[in-house]
Amino acid sequence: MKIICIGRNYADHAKEMSAPLPETPIFFMKPETALLRTRDFFYPKFTSDLHYECEIVIKIDKVGKNIQEKFAHTYYSSLTLGIDFTARDVQKKCKENGLPWEIAKSFDQSAPLSKQWISFKDVSQNISFELEHNGDIVQKGCSDHMIFSFDQIIAYVSRFITLKKGDLIFTGTPSGVGPVKIGDQLKARLMGEEILSFYVR
Ligand code: ZN
């Protein structure tokens, strides 16, 4: 199983990062060891500027390579929410030196994920979600604000990498990303329903 994450998929987030809008999807990967499903998150020692990024996550249902956009919808049927934790200080150094982002993005437990999967049949076309940080709503997103749709992401990624059953795609974060500290609580809601809640320890 692998986790594919899309960068800069919301114009408002690209703007807050002073990054140009992408012409094709930008992706990076996290290993299976990044998943965190049932426990609280432990703040890693190698960063002092850890940021949350709340994202819609879709699960791949069957193997596929070079998937055409018009058939991409047959490759997934459920979604949930996850956090793409990012060591922003480490990522900044990687960017400045033209280095890969793995040490900033792909470390153990960097991908807390809700245990609750929701069928696409049960949601409207525009999927809204939000992240609450210590009681304040800090991120609000809607799938129709994504620069690249789920289908476009699948078509693009599968040109390079075979997608397999159980693979996850984190589809990018809206604006409002920010730092967490030990003791903080994060809660994520999909279409108004809380499906992920944990503490930073
Ligand atoms: Zn992200």
DSSP string, 165-183: TT-EEE----S--EE--TT
pLDDT at 124: 85
Count Cβ atoms below 10 Å from residue 160 Cβ, excluding itself: 9
Instruction: Kindly state the average pLDDT of the residues 123-134.
Output: 95
C-alpha of residue 15 to centroid of ligand 1, in Å: 14
- pTM over cut 0.75: yes
C-alpha of residue 69 to centroid of ligand 1, in Å: 22
Instruction: Kindly state the average pLDDT of the residues 17-25.
Output: 91
pLDDT at 117: 97
- Kindly tell me the burial class for residue 26, based on how many C-beta atoms sit within 10 Å of its own C-beta (0-12, 13-18, 19 or more): middle
Q: What is the CATH number of domain 3-199?
A: 3.90.850.10
C-alpha of residue 66 to centroid of ligand 1, in Å: 24
**Predicted confidence (pLDDT) per residue in 99-116, tens digit:** 999 999 999 999 999 999
Distance separating alpha carbons of residues 29 and 5, to the nearest angstrom: 6
pLDDT at 111: 98
C-alpha of residue 53 to centroid of ligand 1, in Å: 5
C-alpha of residue 142 to centroid of ligand 1, in Å: 15
C-alpha of residue 64 to centroid of ligand 1, in Å: 23
Sheet of 76-83, strands arranged across: 26-30, 3-7, 168-170, 54-60, 76-83, 118-119
C-alpha of residue 5 to centroid of ligand 1, in Å: 6
Instruction: Kindly state the average pLDDT of the residues 63-73.
Output: 98
Q: Which residue has the tokens 């304040």?
A: 136
C-alpha of residue 85 to centroid of ligand 1, in Å: 7
Q: What percent of the chain has pLDDT over 70?
A: 100
Distance separating alpha carbons of residues 24 and 73, to the nearest angstrom: 19
pLDDT at 38: 79
Distance separating alpha carbons of residues 153 and 9, to the nearest angstrom: 10
pLDDT at 184 exceeding the cut of 90:
yes
Distance separating alpha carbons of residues 129 and 138, to the nearest angstrom: 11
**Predicted confidence (pLDDT) per residue in 5-20, tens digit:** 999 999 998 898 888 8
Of the candidates 169, 192, 190, 172, which has an alpha carbon nearest to the alpha carbon of residue 7?
Answer: 172
pLDDT at 148 exceeding the cut of 90:
yes
C-alpha of residue 7 to centroid of ligand 1, in Å: 6
187 Cβ contact partners less than 8 Å away, ≥ 6 residues apart: 131, 132, 194, 196, 197
Of the candidates 93, 101, 79, 98, which has an alpha carbon nearest to the alpha carbon of residue 34?
Answer: 101
The phi, psi pair for 4, rounded to 5°, reads -110, 130
